[in-house]
Amino acid sequence: MKTNTDHLPRPLEGVTVLDLTTALAGPYATLLLAGLGARVIKIENPRSPDTARNNAPFIGRDGVHMQRRHEDDMSLAIMERARNKQSITLNLKSPRGRELFLQLAAKADAVVENYSAGTADRLGVGYAALSAANPRLVYTSISGFGANMVSAQNKAMDTIVQALSGLMMTSGGPNDPPVRVGVPFGDLAAPLYAVIGTLAALMQARSTGRGQQVDVSLLGAITAMVAAEPFEVMRRAGQETRTGNTMPRLAPFGVFATRDGYVAICAPTDGFSAALFDAMQRPELRADERFSSRDQRVKHNEALHTLVEDWMRTLGTDEAVQRLEACGVPSGRVRDPGEATRDPRLLARGETERLEHPVYGAVDDVVVGGLPIRMTGSFTGFDRAAPTLGEHNAPLYGALLGLDEDALRTLAQDGVI
């Protein structure tokens, strides 16, 4: 975990965000805002908190295990997604709970929620209700299909969105079944757009005094990314759109097997392809009319990729990487996630980081994502562990709403907090 040893300011200092999110898509958005310095107050129902709190694996005094062994074991999911956040409990289904939330919203800059479309309005905490209490509030909604799309199929999980977006039909070979991307792409892409929209709306609110609703859907986010590649145009032009580990229209371009692993090579330009031929010790291929221009390399991509495949199979991965690097060929070994996330460069920059239990410290070697944004005049990243459920009830309700211990005790007894 990073430390702000230089005492730098944080980009979003002074911004208060009420976090009504659960699972992954919403919490990842608020995690990014927290990493940029916003005060993110995670609000959970005391009787049914974020389901991520009970997701395996768990980390505790005995290290990492798939079952909770001790009361203070924490879910890896919540430890990762709630860093730098504060936690309070509040039952929004109770009239008193909604009343308290409206009071909190009146003092906040932004609210982020990822309920199914229509749910926030039914709870009485939708944009219309909150904007009446705080006209400058930015209200960000992350949903499967859009905040205005209420239908029978109103719940979306990442795999469903991957299927509907066409993403599953972009990887693999021509005759392969759909390929699910192992990283929850929809649950991570939508939050990026949500954060961009939230920051833009906050800037506008500062200049106009008026907030607005920011509406991002998982399906929209991931489909927009799929549409960035001209799959449909290529299909109409007679080109195969599912080409496995090579990309014919940029040949030589793809992932190739070595004797003991795989290496990615991306050499679409004349200069890069010439460098590849030098690495292959086949300089005569520079003059081969089949490979002398980009159009010709694309036309003869199968022959070219076969030559590269045959050469790569004669080498170990280390030797292949060294030869390619020596000749200036854009390339990289294929690493498994464990090796990749422990890259010393990433750890040094805070782009990945080792996760520690808030009480027991580094009980196991667990590496998670950091904040891959560095700034020269600001501190960005995570320097506070995830809170326990309701850890900040007393200080936050006291500071923001003036509630004392007796009031909080009564609210707890009534099931409001």
Enzyme catalytic residues? 187
Distance from CA of residue 187 to its chain's centroid?
7
User: Which region, left, alpha or beta, applies to residue 158 given φ > 0 means left and ψ of -120 to 50 means alpha?
Assistant: alpha
CB-facing half-sphere around the CA of 398: CA atoms within 13 A: 9
As a whole number of angstroms, the distance between CA 98 and CA 125 comes to: 7
Angle, to 10 degrees, between the axis of helix 218-226 and the axis of helix 185-208?
110
Q: CA-based angle 92:214:147, to the nearest 5?
A: 65
Residues 6+ positions from 181 with CB-CB distance below 8 Å: 162, 167, 168, 171
Cis ω on the peptide bond leading into residue 252 (within 30° of 0)? yes
H helices of 252-362, in order, are 270-279, 294-299, 301-312, 317-326, 337-341, 344-349
As a whole number of angstroms, the distance between CA 285 and CA 82 comes to: 54
As a whole number of angstroms, the distance between CA 252 and CA 254 comes to: 7
149 is written with which tokens?
Answer: 């799309």
Query: Among 256, 249, 219, which Cα is nearest to 331's?
Result: 256
Q: First-to-last CA distance in the chain?
A: 30
Q: Which residues of 312-351 are buried (b: 16+ CB within 10 A; e: fewer)?
A: beebebeebbebbeebebbbebbeeeeeebeeeebeeebb
H helix or E strand, kind and range, residue 119? helix 119-123
As a whole number of angstroms, the distance between CA 376 and CA 137 comes to: 29
The residue assigned the tokens 């309070």 is 88
Specify the DSSP class assigned to residue 377: S
Query: Quick check: 18 and 85 in contact, CB under 8 A?
Result: no
